[in-house]
Structure 1
Amino acid sequence: MPQPFPSPASPGSSPLTEPAARATDLTKVYGRGETRVTALDAVSVEFARGRFTAVMGPSGSGKSTLMHCMAGLDPLTSGSARIGGTELSSLSERQLTALRREKVGFVFQGFNLLPTLTALENITLPLHLAGRKPEPAWLDTVVGAVGLGGRLGHRPAELSGGQQQRVAVARALVSRPEIVFADEPTGNLDSRSGAELLGFLRDSVRELGQTVVMVTHDPTAAAHADRAVFLADGRIVDDVHTPAADTVLDRMLRFEAEGTSGGHGTAGGRGTAG
């Protein structure tokens, strides 16, 4: 079977030391002329392997756009985005699809489960689409980590919101991806289910060696991360290691007070920058 995307080739680094994902001067512009909006403005950032990073910022700051560009879901206007040593802009649409399926895990606010499939079938769906069989030991590890052992035969409608999101997390982890991107993963959950989910993500980093990048506006969620990167007006404006909830909240309030959430493109706003 041919290699679906180019082998990593990053001079001067090895797969063990290079970042799980990296952006260099990443710029994303929507629209033209009077409707032009710069969602990301020459952003450079690295996400280390085996670390949990929160990406934060006011509404419209560009945090979701950054995740979408770095995950290969949205094309760049200029600059570079890499997963491991693979430059995303060098890939065809077919190669991008293969890379997302095999190298990237996704957890979204809306769960994105197929209602006709059982929890187990939803978890293993990415592997089946890639023509791969689950590794029994790893599947058992992932299912055990998210506490779904007794619910694998249930369909999404038979599960609570928290259980559905656990299925989504297990689905993201089962293919052993290079990196997991989570976009507001606790947004549709109550506080207890949200705390459990954040604990699962934290444990996947600490115990399973996973790399997680989570977009969130919630200081409490960010406090579960090893690092918090703050965006405003499409630029990185702060980078905090071992963030505490009160520290994150203080920074968010300061950014809002300084009015950093209002765009710098000719449209004067962010549109869908996120």
Structure 2
Amino acid sequence: MTTAAPPLTRQRTETSAARAAQVWKVYGAGEAQVVALRGVDVELERGRFTAIMGPSGSGKSTLMHCLAGLDSVSRGQVFVGDTEVTGLNDAGLTRLRREKIGFIFQQFNLLPTLTAQENILLPLAIAGRKPDQDWFKTVIDTVGLGDRLGHRPNQLSGGQQQRVACARALVSRPEVVFADEPTGNLDSRSGAEVLGFLRRSVTEYGQTIVMVTHDAVAASYADRVIFLADGQIVAELTGPTPERVLDTLKSLDRPAPLETEL
């Protein structure tokens, strides 16, 4: 027998789209144990574009997956808006992701048998919701897909497919959109188109974007860049430029100076 999801736990977080409080993530045990996140505290503000960066193995993707409810935490708390993610059962997590979160992945994840329009509206169809036609038109106009809605994914370029994926993430007007290397499979021109759309969705429509990327140019589209190393937040930039991002990344590769106790 199927049981209904319990009420979502509420926590007052007026300015936060998502928040992590003393979050640890540990995989394995004993000699095979890997600590991916070490007591991370971070608040991601509504209506801002935040990029998460760091060396390979720094924990950036793990942090995003924990914030999005795609992975559980070993210790600590995660909130999306005023909903506590930690402790939700599978039904609660499904509802949270359906109602409050949008996702954009490197691999597009479009269904090949559906048209662009059907792919965009799929999350709403699954949730049994009708689209807001005015918002749907705004999203389609912004991504420039008006003449491609009847095309299937194999009839679209990589950049167009990713723009379909972006539109799909935004059409339900989620609390926050998590983007995992959204330009990783695109050429520079297509990548710039997708990043420009994400930037406009924040500036013009107040959307919240959290993007994991290794690309300094992509990160420069953000309002804020958070840098991780060894599972901890070690630096932050606001108003980033590609040059400042690269300089910060280079500094993470340098050994820290020895500290002397006084």
TM range, smaller chain: over 0.9
Q: Quick check: 1:60 aligned with 2:57? A: yes
SS of the residue aligned with 1:107?
strand
| Map of 1:258 onto structure 2 | 255
| Map of 1:264 onto structure 2 | none
SS of the residue aligned with 1:124?
helix
Q: Deviations over 1:5-52 (max 9, x none)?
A: 6356324x5xxx330000000100000000000000000000000000
Counterpart Cα distance in 2 of 1:248 and 1:59 = 16
Q: Deviations over 1:125-154 (max 9, x none)?
A: 000010101111110011111000000000
Native 8 Å contact 1:56 1:215 kept in 2: yes
Q: What residue identity is the alignment partner of 2:134?
A: A
The structure-2 alpha-carbon separation of the partners of 1:5 and 1:199, relative to structure 1 and needing over 3 Å to count, comes to farther
Counterpart Cα distance in 2 of 1:114 and 1:83 = 27
Query: Counterparts in 2 of 1:14-53, with a 5 A limit?
Result: 17-53=14-50
| Map of 1:86 onto structure 2 | 83
| Map of 2:11 onto structure 1 | 10
SS of the residue aligned with 2:184?
coil
Q: Quick check: 1:202 aligned with 2:199? A: yes
Q: What residue identity is the alignment partner of 1:224?
A: Y
Q: Quick check: 1:231 aligned with 2:228? A: yes
TM-score, normalised to structure 1, is: 0.90
Of structures 1 and 2, the one with the larger relative CO (CA 8 A, separation 6+) is 1
Q: What residue identity is the alignment partner of 2:119?
A: N
| Map of 2:260 onto structure 1 | none
Q: Runs of 4 or more off by more than 4 Å in structure 1?
A: 2-5
Q: Deviations over 1:67-108 (max 9, x none)?
A: 000000001101000001111123110110111011000000
Query: Counterparts in 2 of 1:182-197, with a 5 A limit?
Result: 182-197=179-194
Alignment match of 1:138 (pick from 120, 135, 138)? 135
Counterpart Cα distance in 2 of 1:6 and 1:85 = 12
| Map of 2:104 onto structure 1 | 107
Native 8 Å contact 2:79 2:85 kept in 1: yes
The structure-2 alpha-carbon separation of the partners of 1:8 and 1:207, relative to structure 1 and needing over 3 Å to count, comes to farther
Native 8 Å contact 2:58 2:229 kept in 1: yes
Tell me how large the CA RMSD over aligned residues is.
1.5
Report the alpha carbon displacement of residue 254 of structure 1 after superposing the two structures with TM: 1.5
Q: Quick check: 1:151 aligned with 2:152? A: no
Unaligned 5+ residue runs, structure 1?
260-274
Counterpart Cα distance in 1 of 2:5 and 2:207 = 23
SS of the residue aligned with 1:91?
coil
SS of the residue aligned with 2:86?
helix
Counterpart Cα distance in 2 of 1:258 and 1:101 = 43
Native 8 Å contact 1:6 1:86 kept in 2: no
| Map of 1:69 onto structure 2 | 66
Counterpart Cα distance in 2 of 1:181 and 1:238 = 20
TM-score, normalised to structure 2, is: 0.94
Counterpart Cα distance in 1 of 2:9 and 2:243 = 40
Unaligned 5+ residue runs, structure 2?
257-262
Counterpart Cα distance in 2 of 1:137 and 1:46 = 31
Report the alpha carbon displacement of residue 208 of structure 1 after superposing the two structures with TM: 1.1
